[in-house]
Amino acid sequence: MTKAGTQSKPTSHDGADGPVRLKRALSWPLLTLYGLGVTLGAGIYVLVGATAAQAGLYAPFSFLIAAFVVAITALSYIELATRYPVSSGAAAYIEAGFDRRWLTIGAGLLIAISGMVSASTVAIGAGGYLSGLTGLPVPLLALLTVISMGLLAAWGISESVTAAAVITVIEIAGLLLVIGWTMAGPSQSIIETAQLLPSFKAAHWFGIVAASTLAFFAFIGFEDMASVAEEVKDPLKAYPRAVILTLLISTLLYTLTTAAVVMTIPLETLAVSSSPLLLVFANAPAFLREGFGLIAIVATVNGILIQIIMASRMLYGLADKGYLPKPLAVISKRTHTPILATAVVAGIIIALSQLFPIEILAQRTSQIVLFTFTLVNVALIRVKRSEKVPPTGCFSVPRFVPVLGAISSVMLLATGLL
């Protein structure tokens, strides 16, 4: 691991006689689709109703506030990822800033756990959707889904991310379908567009800010892009471009989708629905309604795949630095993926989805990520303070950016705990 204030050199692919390393195979378009796949996914497909229950008609503003908090921290991640383009991601950044072994290990494991808990929750949801189509038991379908995604993740980074990219395009098409159907379909708007603009009443903004912690969950994922930085071609150019595009596209789709839904579905109906976007197609032809249901299933499956990739790279990165057992850092000569780390992650996800009540843990995913955001921003502050001369060859942000990122993350974390 590099020390604070020095830049890590990108890992190159070793020859046949050297140790097998991760393969730099991801271009910026693939990295963008990877980011969109983990950022979009199940969150927006299930969170619109819960967000509207707290923010009412102003739910789109909750997503905008969440986007602002995420965007500030994203700039810190971009600088750190171009300084230290390694698979351990945030754990490497925290080590560079604090130089505390226990904090590095703890943060890395927390990030991996949050991904595995999220994936296990999504696996149960995917099993529920599939059970409705097949009649098979939810636990069995959740098990088969995780195994399938684990095998795909182990196949190869190019193959798994390409598959995720294709699925991501389908997810985006689903959200565009929601927006387009509310605008051009037979559904009539029940409110005027002007009613989406909140007044300056404190009660309105309290609900908007409170709901932003829920909306924040829908943006969780861009930080997972840091975990594949070691597998990106030219991370200095690719990573900033991919992260910025991911957040811009996600914010636009979330805001438009949420606005479309709250304008056409009564709030009392929307707030209690576990599949709120399906309500948009209540009066649609059967083929359209069923087609969108399949898209929702695909969205959940994609989330599992990308979380397996992220968590396995985190375990690999920590093991590669000697913080976890070395076998977790072994790379397959054939697939250039961390096979054992991938198997361990898939096994934990299966155990969580089959044996444990994970609802409370899933609700804490946002808090874990916000805590990590705070540590990452503070780490960048400490790295910058330790430098006499700013480094060259990496993306650089002004010092106020990580300060603002840390403050906004703490504020949103505190709001969610109230």
Q: At what angle do helices 101-134 and 138-155 cross, to 10 degrees?
A: 120
pTM of the model: 0.75
Which whole number is the average pLDDT over 35-44?
Answer: 73
Q: What is the pLDDT of residue 8?
A: 43
In a domain, 130, yes or no: yes
d(CA 376, CA 98): 10
State the sign of the Cα–Cα–Cα–Cα dihedral 139, 142, 148, 150: negative
Q: List the Cα angle 218/105/26 in 5-degree steps.
A: 55
At residue 379 the predicted structure's pLDDT band, cuts being 50, 70 and 90, is: very high
d(CA 99, CA 108): 14
Confidence of residue 39 (pLDDT cuts 50, 70, 90): confident
Residue pointed to by tokens 């990030």: 111
In a domain, 11, yes or no: no
Whether 207 is in a domain gets the answer: yes
Residues above pLDDT 70, as percent of the chain: 84
DSSP-derived letter for residue 228 is: G
Give the per-residue pLDDT at 198. 73
Question: So what's the pLDDT on residue 6?
Answer: 43
Confidence category of residue 418, pLDDT binned at 50, 70, 90: low
Q: Is the pLDDT of residue 4 over 50?
A: no
The predicted structure's pLDDT at residue 404 = 94
Is 45 contained in some domain?
yes
Residue by residue, what is the 3-state secondary structure of 334-392?
CCCCCHHHHHHHHHHHHHHHHHCCCHHHHHCHHHHHHHHHHHHHHHHHHHHHCCCCCCC
What residues are paired with 26 via a beta bridge? 232
**Sign of the CA dihedral running 321, 324, 329, 330:** positive
pLDDT of 344: 93
pLDDT band at 416 (very low <50, low <70, confident <90, very high): low
Mean pLDDT, the chain, integer: 79
For 253-302, the pLDDT digits (tens) are 989 988 888 888 888 887 776 667 778 887 788 888 888 878 877 877 87
The answer to whether position 7 is within a domain reads: no
Structural domain tally of the chain? 1
Per the structure block, which two tokens stand in for 202?
């404190």
Q: Residue 19 domain-assigned? A: no
Does residue 44 sit within a domain?
Answer: yes
Identify the H or E element spanning 149: helix 138-155
| d(C-alpha 68, C-alpha 223), whole Å | 15
User: Which DSSP category does 232 fall into?
Assistant: B
Q: What is the pLDDT of residue 72?
A: 92
Residue 310 structural domain: 28-387+394-417
Does the pLDDT at position 358 exceed 50?
A: no
Given a cut of 80, whether residue 103 has pLDDT beyond it is: yes
Predicted confidence (pLDDT) at residue 34 exceeds the cutoff of 70: yes
d(CA 230, CA 10): 7
Residue range 31-45: mean pLDDT, rounded: 75
Segment 43-60 mean pLDDT: 77
Most confident option among 131-135, 303-307, 314-318: 314-318
Q: What is the pLDDT of residues 165-191, one digit of tens each?
A: 788 888 888 889 888 888 776 666 667
Residue 20 in domain: no
* pLDDT value for 13: 40
The tokens describing 42, both together, are 């199940």
Lowest mean pLDDT among 116-125, 236-245, 376-385: 116-125
Here the CATH number for the domain that contains residue 102 is 1.20.1740.10
DSSP 33-85: HHHHHHHSHHHHHHHHHHHHHHHGGGHHHHHHHHHHHHHHHHHHHHHHHHHS-
